[in-house]
A and B are shown apart, each in its own frame.
Chain A
Amino acid sequence: MDFELSEEQRLLKDSVERLLADRYDFSARQRFMHEPAGFSRELWRQYAELGLLGLPFAEDDGGIGGGPVETMIVMEAFGRALALEPYFATVVLAGGFLRLGASAAMRASLIPQIVSGDLLLAFAHAERQSRYDLADVATIARKDGSNYIVDGAKTLVIHGDCADKLVVSARVAGAQRDCSGLGLFVVDAGAAGVTRRPYPTVDGLRAAEVALAGVRVGADAVIGEPGNAWELITQVVDAATAALAAEAVGAMAAMHELTVEYLKTRKQFGVPIGAFQVLQHRAADMLIALEQARSMCLLATMSADDSDILERRKAIAATKVQIGRSGRLVGQQAIQLHGGIGMTMEHKVGHYFKRVVITGTLFGDADHHLVELARMGGLIAAT
């Protein structure tokens, strides 16, 4: 049992944190948000130079060969910086499908472009009716010779606005909520029949609604075997959930630090407000929630590769419950303890709050995962 980072992992952590400390203060973030893509293309190139965009990919595919711990390190740093770049969408999520499911030919053609920073991806999966049910897919992929024709509507596609290609889930067989019968297809965002409606999200990022009308997909753009994508979807989403947990922990830690600092500097009644016990206890409650979230983030990270699927799913569900609950508590208290200034767009704390709330709902909120965990039998068996 060991919670230490290796020497390489420490170096990675230092270099990411240094880059973000130099380049990603709050005013820079506000500027990046107003760039055409809603993030900094310049920083994206820097991430490529630093090797971050190749981090989780195998060395044979042109990547660095990092694992869940490396992804955790980067995502936590991004959480602290409130980074806007589509790292989660491109590298963690869509990249996860390529890494774990794509053919050698597809990996060889796409991964080097991701690593160099020239290709942005997004995962087009959720639909209007699906809520948090990953199996609920009504989009259809119909076989047409060696091709597939995809029809349907995808919603809330994170960074779907800027993606060059979309990893689209569609049903080749089965009923709408069946786990079996799902396929994954790589679709050019500019392909005939694809329409996108881009929009900003409450956390300062961007997303898109994606309509697919008779979109033709070649056999070379299929990930894995159509009909059998369920295992891969859960595996990639679980790993992505661990990464989101790390981002949330980074943001929660930053919010907590800001709040404690504020308690030490803000004076009322002639004393720093941190002298008041009621506020000290709130800050302590926030720390407890943060540390419990960090603990579960570590569990999720170290379970992301677990070959026992049920154990992995339970650990991830439990983590999402904790992250969701801790995030709400830390975020709400951070705003409350900042008082009026916490309500303003000009203060950073509210932006952290909004991002943490959204990481809490992405791929299922605390209630959803609690029900899932209970259905899987919970964490402790009866004797």
Chain B
Amino acid sequence: MDLRFTPEETAFRDEVRAFLRTALPEPIRRKMVEGRRLAKDDLLSWQRILNDKGWAVPHWPVEWGGTGWSPVCEYIYREELQQAPAPDPLPFGVNMVGPVIIAFGSEAQKRRFLPRIANLDDWWCQGFSEPEAGSDLASLRTAARRDGDHYVVNGQKTWTTLAQYADWIFCLVRTNPAAKKQEGISFLLIDMKTPGITVRPITTIDGGKEVNEVFFDDVRVPMENRVGAENKGWDYTKFLLGNERTGIARVGVSKARLRRLREIAALERLGDKPLIEDERFRIKIAALEVELKALEMTQLRVVAAERRNGNRPDPKSSILKIKGSEIQQAVSELLMEAIGPYALPDHVPHEQDERWNEPPVGPDWAAGLAAQYFNMRKVSIYGGSNEIQKNIIAKAILGL
């Protein structure tokens, strides 16, 4: 038993750090540190920097651009990325539809889509949730009816993150309304430029416009854009959801945010001294750091077990999701508390907003922290709510 990395792993970590120091554009890093929203171009250019380096899709098979790293090296890479802090690669392509295409797609689909995902030439979004299908995803109703060598899709998806930028959407659609709900679903790849698709933004409580409704009105999708077999989409969905494993803890992200919290608490004043010298506040930070340390160790245990079990998903990843989201929320809460009354001014940082270039009210470091706190409430809801994760723990681990 040994917590230390091997010399090879340490050398790898240093290599990643050195790369990030030179390759991560400073304006993007500053935005990440300050918790400001990234523009579409930020994500595009960063993904291409990673792809030029050959590190865009490390977890993919080597023939499709993967690096063949061990689970520990993948973990180190992700941690270093998050702590830099660099933007997480857009998950919809590299973590979601990419692995599904690799596992179940046709050769033609692989050749057509995978290189463009790795380079973010195609921006993907996720068409899963519907107004009446949230946690009960399999009850989805968006229908695809066969018409010659096409499907005709009608229905509505919602909570579609960054659909406003998307070139493609991967969609769960009902192809057999008569079958049991899990057995009549197919997995379609749909070009967002197809006639009949309408995207309507949803403004979230933080003022952000990152999610959308997507409407399908007689949208014609070629049969060749179905992944795998008809009516087997639920199997691929379970694969996709099980694929999100240790990354969901986002330990590196929370570490970077806690560092930022200490910086801000050193700048804010409480009476005659910096806030960071207030014992009550330090104790709150320390309590969160303990939780985060425990989560980091739990994550390492899951990574180590993955290595032993030949990369099979571990139901313990539900623990990572629950604790990881709780900690992200708690850190965002302390960041907002740290700026005290300067939670008040509303910062609406959309590029489209006319106030985009105005200087913030109050200290620079306070801008957007309240919005971030409100925005972070989402992390215990998306990707299988924390209550659903507890159901998974109760069934898959405890046998209840």
Contact = CB atoms under 8 A, between A and B. Distances in A.
Contact of B282 (A2, A287, A378, A383): A378
Contact of A4 (B1, B287, B389): B1
A296 B286 contact: no
Interface of B is mostly: helix
A321 B287 CA distance: 8
Interface string A214-250: 0000000000000000000000000000000000000
Given A285-B390, A295-B301, A274 B400 contact: yes
Contact of B291 (A5, A292, A299, A373): A292
Interface of A is mostly: helix
Contacts of A370: 283, 286-287, 290
A1 interface: yes
Contacts of B295: 292, 295
A380 B289 contact: yes
A322 B294 CA distance: 8
Contacts of A274: 394, 400
Interface in A118-177: none
Q: Give the bracket for the number of chain B residues in contact with chain A.
A: 35 or more
A287 B398 contact: yes
Contacts of B287: 321, 370
A282 to B, nearest CB: 9
B398 A296 contact: no
A277 B290 contact: no
A283 B393 CA distance: 9
A1 B304 contact: yes
B316 to A, nearest CB: 7
Q: Chain B CB within 10 Å — which of A69, A291, A375, A380 has the most? A: A380
Contacts of A5: 1
Given A302-B2, A374-B282, A318 B387 contact: no
B1 A69 contact: yes
Contact of B294 (A2, A263, A295, A374): A295
B347 interface: no
Contacts, number: 143
Given A295-B298, A302-B1, A302-B2, A374 B279 contact: yes
B285 to A, nearest CB: 6
B323 interface: yes
Contact of A284 (B2, B3, B390): B390
Contact of B286 (A1, A284, A285, A378): A378
A280 B400 contact: yes
A283 B293 contact: no
A1 B5 contact: yes
Q: Chain B CB within 10 Å — which of A283, A291, A375 has the most? A: A291
B72 to A, nearest CB: 6
Interface string B220-264: 000000000000000000000000000000000001001110110
5 contacts: A4-B1, A284-B393, A322-B290, A374-B283, A380-B292
Given A277-B394, A299-B3, A383-B259, 10 more contacts: A1-B3, A264-B400, A287-B397, A288-B393, A302-B1, A303-B3, A318-B294, A370-B290, A371-B279, A383-B260
